[in-house]
Structure 1
Amino acid sequence: MENMPFDDRIITYSKNLHHFAIGFTNNPDDANDLVQDTYVKAIRYANLYTEGTNLKAWLYTILKNTYFNNYRSNQYHSKVVTVTEDYQPHQLLKSSTTNAGVETLISEDINKALMMLPEEYSLPFLRYFEGYKYLEIAEEFCIPIGTVKTRIHMARKILKSKLRMYC
């Protein structure tokens, strides 16, 4: 058999390779493609095959590596995932785009809720919302940092209760 040309020798293993490929792909068409790719690589890299070694094992290794490098990754990319769930209107509000009218109404509700806050809560909260640090707010209002944290926490709690329809 070693007197045969390399191309003819690798073809003699086609049935074995096909059975091996079916084990990976579970699909006869994909197995045929995998065997074809294996032959292309075997011919391309024939110079790397050492005469006298196990040709069948060499071809199996090429097939296995080809599968792991190409077919398995393509399998994940080609699948279509469909998810059907029933969504509630409040869930859609967070994910859908809104028009300017809805945004205006939401802004008005937020502003009303902010106006209802006591000044001792609203001023530290607004400074925090603007990006000031607790220490900077404490220094500006000449109050302890713990008081700043408490007032911001209370402002959040009040706003959350006033705006719970948007949560």
Structure 2
Amino acid sequence: MSTIEFNQMLLANAEFLRPFAITLTRDNETAKDLFQETLFRALANKEKYNVGTNIKAWLYTIMRNVFINNYRKKARQNTVLDSTPNDFLLDYNQTTTHNNAEATLQLKEIQLSIHQLPDIFKKPFMLYFDGFKYHEIAGMLKEPLGTIKSRIHFARKLLKAQIQRY
């Protein structure tokens, strides 16, 4: 296969790669980079393409492999290696006192807000907060499942409005 034929075939099938790149990266700019890298790799490795095979599958495979390699490279770059000496551990047993006053005040305000909820919302919310599943709460309160979900949703919404600064 000549270079011109390969390039024409590549261009005819390249547009199918754009949605796949966006699906992989979930970002337009990164998808454009992935698309360009894929086409570059395809052109650089055109001798590895077997004439008569599915070029779309070949291009998809190249794109997937480029994406995986980039992902692994980013994961390695995000790994932080600590080569500092551990001299600070000599004084590690020193005690410090933590002031929990602010956290206690915030917790009291949240509990007060929950307590001020109307009973119709407070009961299902508290049961859900205690770890019960929706269907278990519906059985306990003898209410339809949708009603329980709705009441818990509205309880969250009311609490969020009351406690906006957290």
TM-score, normalised to structure 2, is 0.43
Which structure has the larger Rg?
1
